[in-house]
Structure 1
């Protein structure tokens, strides 16, 4: 992959570290298949193992990370569309399937262009499903989005689910996709509310997570008979070896780019992530965030 350094925030942008200790929800001991229903918590059976974890300010460490090893990068990517209120409103109430002239497509294209330039992938396009908007659950939050912050340690996709997502994406919008040797799914997350964020995203160094830590989960967002509403994802058992990072005081042109899946290393646990309540931001503006999910294919 191409180097990210020309567009990465500088590691000395902030002199003082803002490491925090916060609660992260891992999966405890489970005897049955794990089920997590985002919209109907009563349909879930997860036994949570909540831990106090140190989450490190990423800025002093930015030059240590690579996408292939840690599974993530913090980059600068200004957007013409991210702060447009219509983009948020169009995705706030339900899973949104985009049209060719929508703001969704224009926003996603900015990220596709960046990923293609970064990786040299042959074909790069959004995964079926639209953009994911999330808002703080604080009472002062402006408007609630359809999905609350995901305050549990997880990877959104398991290897056995990926071909299904590719097939659904191509069925929704047919493309001339030639045979490929590798596919990656990238997730691109940014906060569009000002810092200090009350709730933000923590990313785990993939080099510190063993595949033995994983738990396969049935994830659901509604009627499982509707395509896209049920899929295999991954959660995780706790290990003291895990090392966590976040970027405090994110600005709208700060982007967290991380791998949700890589066919070259399908069982790699990078990059596990979780929303968390930031103790340094509880008097700040309630979180408002946007996430795009992008497929990249290689010859």
Structure 2
């Protein structure tokens, strides 16, 4: 069981609970060949999309959601005073701080991270909200990204060497010889703009996801100042059993953590998620800006 702390659940009372409403989610449709999802420029994707109406519930009505049960949890952290358009600040002191916050909130022994992704509104933004139901990982891509992440208090070269050691003591060790008994891929998402948000993020509760709903796809993601990143992720077919949740009017001091992959349970997909157009958002709202980070959380055996 993933541990928590007083910061690890912001359910009832944190904000006004929004009544259920209808939203539209973009699922994977019938497709014979392997889908290709270009997360930075959907026009380059090779993917059949089916839009389905779903009931969107406010996660603030849940008493105490958890990574182990629903697959997501909200924690509180004041927005650090960094220039989030500055990659050096975003991928430097912000990630170091985030590692400490997540480790404390989840009761973990160690947290390492990938680099961050900044999503901004407007047609000229380098990265925009992703409006396709997906999970960032497959078993293969989770292992690859783990090997490419590192402790941000170290330099990249030393950090990657440290990560190799962490893997040798966890996912690559025999079960009875592991220093770290459980390793989770956890997505960390926060808005850096005030509500209302035109494209909030929604997460599908893991117990409502069936194995037959999941399909592996190739994906491409543009990287600022580098070559596009190519790997695999998981897409989702529509199922009326899916239970969708979003935190109404998330503020910059709230951080959403959701499970991407559990190395102890590789056959189970992580939490599917997607941005969606909020029908109640005023048309003159400035647009959502957000920062997300893929992290790996290690627990002592």
Under a length normalisation based on structure 2, what TM-score does the superposition of the two structures give?
A: 0.83
- Which residue in 1 is equivalent to 2:94? 107
Distance 1:209 1:236 in 2: 9
Judged with a 3 Å threshold, the aligned counterparts in structure 2 of structure 1 residues 7 and 157 are, in CA distance, closer, same or farther, namely closer
- Which residue in 1 is equivalent to 2:28? 27
Distance 2:70 2:20 in 1: 19
Deviations 1:124-154 (A, max 9, x none): 1112xx21111234x7xxxx43221110110
- For the Cα contact (< 8 Å) 1:136–1:199, is it kept in 2? no
- For the Cα contact (< 8 Å) 2:75–2:105, is it kept in 1? no
Equivalent of 1:136 in 116, 121, 128? 121
**Secondary structure in 2 aligned to 1:277?**
coil
Distance 1:222 1:251 in 2: 27
**Secondary structure in 1 aligned to 2:30?**
coil
Distance 1:76 1:54 in 2: 26
Q: How many residues align?
A: 276
Most deviating of 192-201 and 175-184: 175-184
Unaligned runs of 5+ in 1: 92-97
- Which residue in 2 is equivalent to 1:95? none
- Which residue in 2 is equivalent to 1:124? 111
Distance 1:103 1:6 in 2: 23
Distance 1:228 1:222 in 2: 4
- Which residue in 1 is equivalent to 2:76? 76
**Secondary structure in 1 aligned to 2:268?**
coil
Most deviating of 230-239 and 245-254: 245-254
2:222 is the counterpart of 1:219: no
Most deviating of 13-22 and 227-236: 13-22
- For the Cα contact (< 8 Å) 1:79–1:107, is it kept in 2? no
**Secondary structure in 2 aligned to 1:161?**
helix
Under a length normalisation based on structure 1, what TM-score does the superposition of the two structures give?
A: 0.84
- Which residue in 1 is equivalent to 2:256? 256
- Which residue in 1 is equivalent to 2:177? none
Distance 1:185 1:241 in 2: 25
Most deviating of 210-219 and 11-20: 11-20
- Which residue in 1 is equivalent to 2:48? 47
Unaligned runs of 5+ in 2: 151-155, 171-180
- For the Cα contact (< 8 Å) 1:8–1:75, is it kept in 2? yes
**Secondary structure in 2 aligned to 1:245?**
strand
2:179 is the counterpart of 1:194: no
